[in-house]
Amino acid sequence: MSSPEILSLLRTTRDCNSSRLNSSISSPGDSNKFTCSQIQLMLKTKSSQYTIIDNTGKRTSNCWNSFGFPAIINHNGDFQRVDGFVSCRKCFATYSFTSNSTRLLNQHVCEASEERNKRLEVKSTPSAQRRLTSYCSTKRVTLKESEISKIKDLQAQWVCQSIRPFSIVEDSGLRRLIQECISIGVRYGNINVDQVLRGADTTATYVSKLADQHRARISEEIREPLENDAITFCPDMWSDPVRQVSYLGITTTFVNDRFEFRSYDLCCSPFEEDDKTAESILVAQTTCSSDLANDDGFTLEDPTNCSTSDADIEEIVFVDISKTNVKELPVCARDVLKVLNNCKDVVRYVKLNGLNKDIQSNGGISLCQSTRVRWLSIMQLLNSIDRSFKETKKVLQEKKKPFLIDRMIVKRLIILLHPFKHIITVIQKGNEPSLYLVLICVLTLRKSLNSFENLIKFHKEHNETSTEKENESDDDQYDLESRESDGIRFFRLRLVELLESMFTLEPIHFAATFLHPRYRYLRKCTSAEINSCKAYIRKQIKEIAEQEKIKKMIRNRCAERTTDQNTTGEPPLKKKKRFGQEYESGDLSDEYGEAEDEVEKYLSMRIDPELIVDNPLIFWKANQKHFPLLSKVARTIHCIPATTAAVEREFSGGGLVMSERRSSINPNNVDNILFLRSVTQ
Do residues 330 and 256 both lie within one domain? no
pLDDT greater than 70 at residue 117: no
515 belongs to a structural domain: no
Do residues 401 and 465 both lie within one domain? yes
Do residues 212 and 191 both lie within one domain? no
Model pLDDT, residue 102:
73
CA dist list (Å): 676 to 201, 653, 679: 17, 12, 5
166 belongs to a structural domain: yes
% of the chain exceeding 90 in pLDDT: 38
126 belongs to a structural domain: no
State the amino acid at position 327 in one-letter form.
Answer: K
**Cα–Cα distance, 435 to 642 (Å, whole number):** 4
Domain boundary among 82, 106, 130: 106
**Cα–Cα distance, 629 to 599 (Å, whole number):** 10
How buried is residue 666: exposed, middle or buried, by Cβ count under 10 Å (0-12/13-18/19+)? exposed
Model pLDDT, residue 577:
65
Domain limits at 447? Answer: 326-424+438-503
Model pLDDT, residue 648:
77
What mean pLDDT is predicted for residues 468-497? 74
What is the tally of structural domains in the chain? 4
pLDDT greater than 80 at residue 612: yes
CA dist list (Å): 592 to 534, 555, 625: 16, 27, 19
The number of beta carbons lying within 10 Å of the beta carbon of residue 362 is 14
560 belongs to a structural domain: no
362 belongs to a structural domain: yes
Domain boundary among 197, 226, 257: 197
pLDDT greater than 80 at residue 658: no
Q: Cα Rg for the chain, rounded, in angstroms?
A: 36
pLDDT greater than 50 at residue 480: yes
386 belongs to a structural domain: yes
CA dihedral 306, 311, 314, 319 (to 10 degrees): -60
pLDDT-based confidence at residue 343 (cuts at 50, 70, 90): very high
Do residues 94 and 157 both lie within one domain? no
pLDDT-based confidence at residue 298 (cuts at 50, 70, 90): very low
Do residues 216 and 96 both lie within one domain? no
Do residues 491 and 419 both lie within one domain? yes
pLDDT-based confidence at residue 296 (cuts at 50, 70, 90): very low
What mean pLDDT is predicted for residues 245-250? 84
pLDDT greater than 50 at residue 527: yes
Do residues 291 and 207 both lie within one domain? yes
Question: Which residue would you say has higher pLDDT here, 63 or 160?
Answer: 160
Do residues 159 and 206 both lie within one domain? no
CA dist list (Å): 283 to 26, 279, 315, 395, 644: 89, 6, 20, 57, 21
Model pLDDT, residue 153:
94
Residue 423 CB partners (closer than 8 Å, separation 6+): 441, 444, 445
Do residues 85 and 151 both lie within one domain? no
Which pTM was predicted? 0.67
% of the chain exceeding 70 in pLDDT: 75
The answer to whether 650 and 674 have CB atoms below 8 angstroms apart is yes
542 belongs to a structural domain: no
**Cα–Cα distance, 516 to 634 (Å, whole number):** 9
State the amino acid at position 223 in one-letter form.
Answer: R
478 belongs to a structural domain: yes
Do residues 294 and 214 both lie within one domain? yes
For the chain, helix (H) and strand (E) counts, in that order, are 27, 8
Model pLDDT, residue 17:
44
Segment holding 610, helix H or strand E: none
Do residues 333 and 402 both lie within one domain? yes
9-23, 54-68, 340-354: range with highest mean pLDDT:
340-354
> Shortest CA distance to 670 belongs to which of 306, 177, 318, 270?
270
Domain boundary among 503, 524, 556: 503
Helix, strand, coil percentages for the chain (3-state, nearest 5): 60, 10, 35
**Cα–Cα distance, 387 to 471 (Å, whole number):** 10
The number of beta carbons lying within 10 Å of the beta carbon of residue 157 is 10
Do residues 287 and 369 both lie within one domain? no
**Cα–Cα distance, 645 to 643 (Å, whole number):** 5
